[in-house]
C-alpha cells in the first residue's frame, strides 16, 4: 500500500496549497504520493495533470448557508468547508482503502475538518501561507481573547504579540474586531486547533522572520502550552508562466526597452478595486513623480462593467490627456498583469502592492522593494510585518477610509527611488532574495525543515 499525504484547501487558498504539493513531491516523489482535496473547479486539475505523484480530488459543492445567516463575506470561507465535513470524511475513508494516509494538511479556512481527521486518527497539520508573523498572531489569539473585557467586545489599542512588531488592533481583519461575531469565533476556534495540531507548515524562511521563528520555538505565543513543531519551508511561489507564451505580452516587450531598475509596478490583486476619484489621484501621483511606471488598472466599482476588461475605456477612467502625457514613460494595463514575469524583469525597481502574502513573497524572491497599500482582509497587519518586521517595504500614509492622495503616492515613489532610506530597503530586499534562494537549495534551511516534517510524519504515523 502506497503512502500519501492529503492536502485540503478552500478555493481561496488552493493555489498556495498546489505549490506546497509540488514542493513536497519535488523532494519526495519516490516515497510519497500527494492528494489534494478542494471544491475548486477543474482548473486545478490542469496544474497537476503532468505530475504523476499528485492527484486532485474534487469535493462536491455544499449548499451555501442562507444569506441572513452570514454577516461577513469571509465567514463563507469557513462555513462552506464546515458543511463539507461529511464529504471530507467520506473522501478520507475512500483514500485510506487504497493508501496509507501519513498526514492530513489543512488550510486554516478548512479548520472544521480538524475534528474529522482527528476522529479518524489521522495526524493533522496546518499550512499557514500568511507567514511566521501571521502564525504568531494566530497562536497568541486565544491569549488576546482572554484579556478582552466581554462588555467592550472590540479591540481598541496596540497589541504586543510575541515575535511581532506592535500591531494596532484595528489593523486586524474587520471580522475579528467583535468577539460576538461568527467570524471571530471561527478565528478563535482555528487558533485553538492550530495549537492542538501535530505540527504547522509555514510559507516563510528563517532569515525573513527570525523574531517570529524564535518566539515560536520558545513557545512564547502559547504561554499555557507547548507550541506544536513549526516548519519554515518557504519561500514557495508559483512557477513562471513564461513557457506558456506570456513572454510575448506587450507589457513585457515594453519593459525590455526600459533602463535597468527604473520602473515602478502597480498591481493590487484580483479584488483590488479603486473608486474613480482614487484612480485619478493615483494617475496624478504617478505623473508628478517623474518616474517610469507599469500600472494594472481595473474598472472602478459603480461604473458599468465592460463585457471584458480588454474593452475597458482607459481614457474614461483616467485624467484627460494622462495617457498621452505619460506615453514615453508609462504603460497602463487593463486589469491583469503577468505579475511574476514583471517582478522578475531587470527594469523593475519597485512594487506598489496591496500586501497580499503571495505578492510580497514573490517580490522578495525577485529582489524588488515594495510600497504598501493594504486594501482588505489581513493586509494592514501584513503591512506592519513588511515595513517594521521584515523591513522590505515603505508605508503609504492613508486616510481613515483608505484614500491616498496624489502627493503621498508621489512622495513614497520618490522616497523609494531617490532617497537613502529607499536604498536601504532595496539593500535589505536583495539580502532577503539571496537568503531565500539559499534556504530553498539542497541543504538550505527550508529543505532541512521539510526533511524534519517528513521524518515527523513517518514517526507519528508509525506510532499511530
Active site residues: 13, 107
> What phi and psi, each to the nearest 5 degrees, are found at residue 82?
-60, -40
State the sign of the Cα–Cα–Cα–Cα dihedral 340, 342, 345, 351: negative
Q: How far apart are CA 197 and CA 74, in angstroms?
A: 23
Task: Classify residue 375 by burial, with Cβ atoms within 10 Å: 0-12, 13-18, 19+.
Answer: middle
- In sequence order, what E strands does 380-432 have? 393-395
The SS3 of residue 206 is coil
Q: How far apart are CA 7 and CA 103, in angstroms?
A: 8
Q: How far apart are CA 6 and CA 33, in angstroms?
A: 9
The SS3 of residue 462 is helix
Contact 322, 287 (CB under 8 A): yes
Query: CA of 409: how far to CAs of 173, 340, 371, 395, in Å?
Result: 24, 23, 9, 10
Residues in the chain: 464
Provide the grid cell at 96: 485510506
The SS3 of residue 14 is helix
Q: How far apart are CA 370 and CA 367, in angstroms?
A: 10
Q: How far apart are CA 61 and CA 73, in angstroms?
A: 17
> What phi and psi, each to the nearest 5 degrees, are found at residue 398?
-125, 150
> What phi and psi, each to the nearest 5 degrees, are found at residue 37?
-105, 135
Amino acid at each position: 500500500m502506497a503512502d500519501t499525504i492529503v492536502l485540503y484547501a478552500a478555493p481561496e487558498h488552493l493555489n498556495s496549497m498546489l505549490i506546497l504539493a509540488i514542493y513536497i513531491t519535488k523532494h519526495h516523489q519516490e516515497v510519497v504520493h500527494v492528494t489534494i482535496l478542494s471544491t475548486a473547479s477543474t482548473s486545478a486539475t490542469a496544474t497537476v495533470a503532468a505530475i504523476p505523484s499528485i492527484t486532485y480530488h474534487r469535493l462536491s459543492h455544499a449548499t451555501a448557508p442562507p444569506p441572513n445567516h452570514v454577516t461577513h463575506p469571509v465567514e463563507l470561507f469557513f462555513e462552506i468547508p464546515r458543511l463539507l465535513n461529511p464529504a471530507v470524511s467520506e473522501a478520507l475513508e475512500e483514500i485510506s482503502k487504497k493508501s496509507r494516509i501519513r498526514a492530513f494538511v489543512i488550510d486554516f479556512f478548512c479548520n472544521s475538518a480538524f475534528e474529522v481527521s482527528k476522529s479518524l486518527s489521522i495526524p493533522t497539520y496546518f499550512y499557514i501561507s500568511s507567514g511566521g508573523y501571521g502564525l504568531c498572531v494566530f497562536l497568541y489569539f486565544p491569549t488576546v481573547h482572554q484579556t478582552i473585557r466581554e462588555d467592550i467586545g472590540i479591540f481598541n489599542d496596540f497589541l504586543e504579540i510575541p515575535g511581532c512588531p506592535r500591531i494596532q488592533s484595528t489593523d486586524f481583519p474587520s471580522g475579528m474586531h467583535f468577539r460576538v461575531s461568527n467570524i471571530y469565533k471561527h478565528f478563535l476556534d482555528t487558533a485553538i486547533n492550530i495549537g492542538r495540531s501535530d505540527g504547522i507548515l509555514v510559507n516563510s524562511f528563517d532569515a525573513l522572520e527570525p523574531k517570529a521563528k524564535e518566539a515560536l520555538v520558545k513557545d512564547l505565543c502559547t504561554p499555557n502550552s507547548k507550541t506544536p513543531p513549526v516548519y519554515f519551508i518557504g519561500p514557495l511561489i508559483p512557477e513562471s508562466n513564461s513557457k506558456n507564451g506570456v513572454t510575448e505580452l506587450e507589457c513585457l516587450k515594453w519593459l525590455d526597452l526600459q533602463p535597468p531598475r527604473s520602473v515602478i509596478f502597480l498591481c493590487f490583486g484580483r479584488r483590488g478595486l479603486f473608486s474613480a476619484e482614487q484612480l485619478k489621484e493615483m494617475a496624478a501621483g504617478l505623473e508628478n513623480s517623474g518616474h517610469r511606471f507599469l500600472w494594472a488598472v481595473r474598472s472602478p466599482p459603480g461604473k458599468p462593467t465592460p463585457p471584458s476588461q480588454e474593452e475597458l475605456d482607459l481614457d474614461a477612467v483616467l485624467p484627460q490627456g494622462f495617457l498621452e502625457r505619460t506615453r514615453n514613460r508609462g504603460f497602463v494595463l487593463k486589469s491583469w498583469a503577468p505579475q511574476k514575469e514583471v517582478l522578475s524583469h531587470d527594469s523593475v525597481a519597485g512594487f506598489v502592492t496591496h500586501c497580499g502574502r503571495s505578492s510580497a513573497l514573490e517580490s522578495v524572491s525577485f529582489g524588488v522593494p515594495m510600497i504598501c497599500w493594504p486594501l482588505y482582509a489581513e493586509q494592514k497587519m501584513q503591512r506592519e510585518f513588511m515595513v517594521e518586521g521584515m523591513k522590505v517595504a515603505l508605508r503609504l500614509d492613508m486616510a481613515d477610509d483608505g484614500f491616498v492622495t496624489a502627493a503621498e503616492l508621489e512622495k513614497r515613489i520618490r522616497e523609494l527611488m531617490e532617497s537613502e532610506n529607499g536604498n536601504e530597503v532595496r539593500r535589505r530586499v536583495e539580502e532577503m532574495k539571496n537568503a531565500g534562494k539559499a534556504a530553498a537549495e539542497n541543504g538550505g534551511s527550508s529543505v532541512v525543515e521539510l526533511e524534519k516534517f517528513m521524518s515527523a510524519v513517518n514517526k507519528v504515523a508509525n506510532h499511530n
